[in-house]
Amino acid sequence: MLLKSKMKRNQPYIWLAALLALLLLAAGCSDPAKDSSGDATGYQPAEKGQVELDRLQGMYYGFIPDYDGSECGGMCWNIITFLPDGQLLLDAPPSGGPETIDCAEAACQAYRIEDGELILEDGETRTIEVVDGILIIEDVELAPVLPVQEGLTLDQQYTHQGFSGLAGISAGSTSWQEDIVLRNDGTYESSNLMLGSVEGGAPTTGAAGSDASGTYRISGNTIALTNSLGETEHALFFIHDDDDSIQIGDRNFLVEP
C-alpha cells in the first residue's frame, strides 16, 4: 500500500516529465534551417536604407535598358537574392518569391566580397559598393524588395510591353504586349500573359500566352494564379518603390492609363 500511495502522489511529476521529454524531442526534430516564415533557406528580407556589405540579406532589384531589345525585350532586370551562409541567387526564383528559394533545387552560388568586388563561386566578379545607403553592383543601383501585405489584393489593370529589334531598322523586328487585371475580390483576367523568362529578346517559355481568368493570391513576395481549369502558376511579385508598377517574374507591369 505504501508503494502504491507513493506512486499516486508522484503521478503529476511523472506526467510532467513525460510532457517535457516530448517537447524536447519535438524541438530536436524541427528543421533548424527554417525560420518563422517557414522557408527552406532561413530567408530574411532586406531592410530599406540598411545595407552593410558584411551582412547582406534579402532580395534587390535594378534595371539596365536594352535599347534594341536583343537581350531582354527592352529592359533587363537585375535581381539578386542574398541568403544566409554566404549564398546568393541571381535572377528571379523559379517557384515564386525569395521566401520560396530552396538551394537544393535552385542555382544558388557561394560568394564573398573582397576589395570592392563580389566574387561568385563560378569565378565571375562584379564591382560592389554602398553609396548613401544604396547598394550598387556593376554601376547599377539596386532597391530592396520589400514583402507585401499578406493577402494583398489590387484593383488595377497592368500592361507589359516588349520588343525585339528596332521597327523600321532591324529585319524581323517584333513586339508583344501582356495584360493582366487584378481585382480586389481576388479574381484576375489576363491576355497573352507569359510567365516564362525572356532571353535573346523574345519569351522562351509560355510564349503562346493566351487569355485566362481565375483567382489570385499574394503571400510574401509570391503571386499564385489559379486559372479556370484549376491550374496554378507561381511567380515572383513585388511593388516597385518609385511608382505604382508591379513586378511579376522577370517583367515589369505598368499601370494601364
pTM, entire model: 0.78
The domains of the chain are located at: 53-144, 156-255
Where b means 16+ CB within 10 Å and e means fewer, 7-34 reads eeeeeeeeeeeeeeeeeeeeeeeeeeee
* Tens digit of each residue's pLDDT (9 = 90 or more) over 154-213: 999 999 998 887 655 656 678 889 999 999 999 999 998 877 544 444 444 434 467 999
* Tens digit of each residue's pLDDT (9 = 90 or more) over 11-47: 544 444 444 444 444 444 333 333 333 355 689 999 9
Fold of 53-144: Lipocalin (2.40.128)
Query: In whole angstroms, what is the distance from residue 73 CA to residue 80 CA?
Result: 19
The cell for 63 is 534595371
| Residue 109, beta-bridge partner list | 88
Amino acid at 115: D
